[in-house]
Structure 1
């Protein structure tokens, strides 16, 4: 797949919405949602973990030139802790924090997180079970966190999650339960069985009565955004195109940029599959919305029909544009990045890594949309390549030009 062919046929935006975000500094009321204290604590902790390295920030200089933009930067999460996605930052951190909370409640003294994640307190937590529902990457992170601390882990996946992603979670010691139905059905089953058995749900989405652990998950994700701000040379980006499932990662990145940059933060553009655009629907409704998942998207990690309440609190004030994209263009963009023709070297990008780029290319090809998004030859655009080849078999099929 050549650069010119990808730009010419990368797909299209099927729906869009726009809002008027808050200006100025990070609002005090959002500190109660995801505080700068929480994000700073997560950043201090995770950057001390064995194997931690900032993931690369790549310049897609050839793509930027082809789109007549000043710069396109790609945050490449494929090498993150060997788990292949940014999710390694969230679920695992939440598990460690949960174990610290439980042992503090039991013993009256909070153990050091370093002692927990080293496995030194495994005997104290071995009878605790953490559970989650996942499309793959979040479950892998929770399973890794459980393996580190020594507690049990049970993961619920829906009918369309690939066998390869299931096996990756099982390799980390998790018990994996596959159910009929979609992601939201697996969430309900997970919550029901956790309540019946005294297990602890570690979810990356928040809902009424369940807020604390998703805050820790989002705080973990903030590490990725903090790295970008340290890696960028020169002024901050003018635009951030970032994908959303339930909205957690988009909200974490938006909050971190807002906390650090205040009124100078970039314009945030939220990108979703047309078949699962719950954040766009929320923007249109002015409140958290649910959409039915009638067909699964190739962008497996984004197949979510219900917005996270915490994420929506941030995105409703911090994001300005909401785009839905069709499936066409995902595979060709993956092949383009793998070829190196976009710039930045050869990049391993999974199906959920490229929606921001697909939307950016489609927006630049639509002159009216390009103008309304404020994209021009001075724009410096940041996108997040949130995963690598999290299912190697599917990835190789796509690179070979075969249906996944």
Structure 2
């Protein structure tokens, strides 16, 4: 069922949720292995779960929680979770060991570093994933090469170089940059660590999605400390869908038959998950073109084939949003109400909050709000997946009103 609101430019597909068939790659054994590995990394600590009581009152829901990943390993984004775990799994296969038997420090021993020092990892990124791969590779004494799509913010490029990688901005969109990285890897004997799954390349994207379990599991632990066993709703932003599929896949396994109502949110110019859901044939569908959006981390036109089926079967709605929705979210989180804590959120991390702010107060969106069961009893969880990774654009949104509301 499609909902299109011409007033606010929001498009949504609302679907039935599967009650059978659970994605086993996100089971409890995997969760334990992932969290134990991340906990072994120097500097690891759970990122904050911020409760926004004043915003909850203003929007008319019971509680709003934001898992703030801008604190993760000092990298200002969540992507290092997937990258470090995937690289560790890859190296374990190379070395013939089980990841359950080693920790991050194992790979940093002189003996192991000597064995892996000539390995070169390659990837394509909008910024955050590439920085995470560069950081992990450098920590382990390996090299990395990162390709970025055209228009990438200079600060994101600089951050990747500072993390230890070679970085190249291409004249390609994200998906073509992935193809370039794949080609360069084949030509040079480099190893592709990419969060986009495609035919013949699914194992490593699986590992990356598994790496995101850590933040999803941390959030549940933190909610329990606040007396909440399970949120009623989770808003997950999607690029290729690796993070959204990983978090949703874990919650489906955790709460079999009773997982939170999950809303997938995308930029309208790169809404490949929405387009795939709209097609109704169960297959992933691509979006082409420049994929121009302020939500650079979500500017992906081709769904991850690994996680698409999880999103297809277990999400309740798929929503395409204009850029102003994300900009509103940036401003809402950055200008807290009353005693609520200020959250610095980048454009890709804020779009879910921006959407909720419209759903709860605009009569024209009431039908979609009701479809999702959002009301005064709702406990809503968001993941702020990045801080101000493009400080100049962040300032333009917050200080200068870039991408203003259309109402």
- When normalised by structure 1's length, the TM-score is 0.91
CA distance in 1, matches of 2:80, 2:277: 28
Contact 2:173 2:290 in 1 (8 A): no
**Alignment partner of 1:270 is 2:264:** yes
Match of residue 235 from structure 2: 241
Equivalent of residue 180 in structure 2, options 189, 195, 210: 189
DSSP 3-state at the match of 2:129: helix
1:361 alignment partner in structure 2 = 357
Partner of 2:190: 199
Partner of 1:257: 251
CA distance in 1, matches of 2:389, 2:30: 28
Contact 2:328 2:354 in 1 (8 A): no
Deviation at 1:217, TM superposition (A): 0.7
Aligned residues of 2:48 and 2:68 also touching (Cα < 8 A): yes
State the partner residue of 1:372: 371
Q: Is the 8 A contact 1:251 1:315 kept in 2?
A: yes
Quick check: 1:103–1:109 contact (8 Å CA) kept in 2?
no
How many residues get paired? 388
- Of 15-24 and 132-141, the range deviating more from structure 2: 15-24
Pairs within 5 Å for 1:66-81? 66-81=58-73
Aligned partners of 2:289, 2:13: CA distance in 1, in Å? 20
Q: What residue in structure 1 maps to residue 3 of structure 2?
A: none
Cα separation, 2, equivalents of 1:301 and 1:222: 19
- Aligned-pair distance for 1:370? 1.2
Q: Distance in 1 between matches of 2:40 and 2:256?
A: 27
SS in 2 for 1:58: strand
1:152 to 126, 143, 146: 143
RMSD: 2.1
Written as runs of structure 1 = structure 2, the 5 A alignment for 1:276-291 is: 276-285=270-279, 286-291=282-287
Structure 1 unaligned blocks of 5 or more: 1-10
Q: 1:298 aligns with which of 294, 301, 321?
A: 294
Partner residue in 2 for 1:43: 35
Aligned match of 1:351:
347
Aligned to 2:16: 20
Question: Of 303, 309, 313, which aligns to 1:313?
Answer: 309
Question: Is this contact kept in 2: 1:100–1:113, CA < 8 A?
Answer: no
The answer to which of 361-370 and 242-251 deviates more is 361-370
* SS of the residue 1:400 aligns to: helix
- Is there any run of 5+ residues in structure 2 with no aligned partner, and where? 1-6
Structure number with greater CO (CA < 8 Å, separation at least 6) is: 1
Alignment of 1:97-108 (within 5 A): 97-104=89-96
1:396 aligns to 2:398 (yes or no): no
Q: Which residue of 2 aligns with 1:340?
A: 336
Residues 59 and 71 of structure 1 are in contact (CA less than 8 Å); yes or no, is this contact kept in structure 2? yes
What is the DSSP-based 3-state SS (H/G/I as helix, E as strand, rest coil) of the residue aligned with 1:42? Answer: helix
Kept after mapping to 2: 8 A contact 1:237/1:266: yes
Shift of 1:67: 1.4
TM-score (norm. length: structure 2)? 0.90
Question: 2-side partners of 1:16 and 1:389: how far apart?
Answer: 28
**2:292–2:299 Cα contact (<8 Å) kept:** yes
Quick check: 2:266–2:320 contact (8 Å CA) kept in 1?
A: yes
Give the Cα–Cα distance (whole angstroms) in 1 for the partners of residues 155 and 57 of structure 2: 37
SS at match of 1:92: helix
CA distance in 1, matches of 2:73, 2:103: 18
SS in structure 2 opposite 1:96? helix
Aligned equivalents of 1:243, 1:342: Cα separation in 2: 27
2:77 and 2:387 in contact (8 A); partners too: yes
CA distance in 1, matches of 2:229, 2:87: 36
The answer to whether the 8 Å contact 1:160/1:296 transfers is no
1:387 alignment counterpart? 386
Match 1:56 to one of 48, 53, 72: 48
Shift of 1:100: 2.0
> What is the SS of the residue equivalent to 2:231?
coil
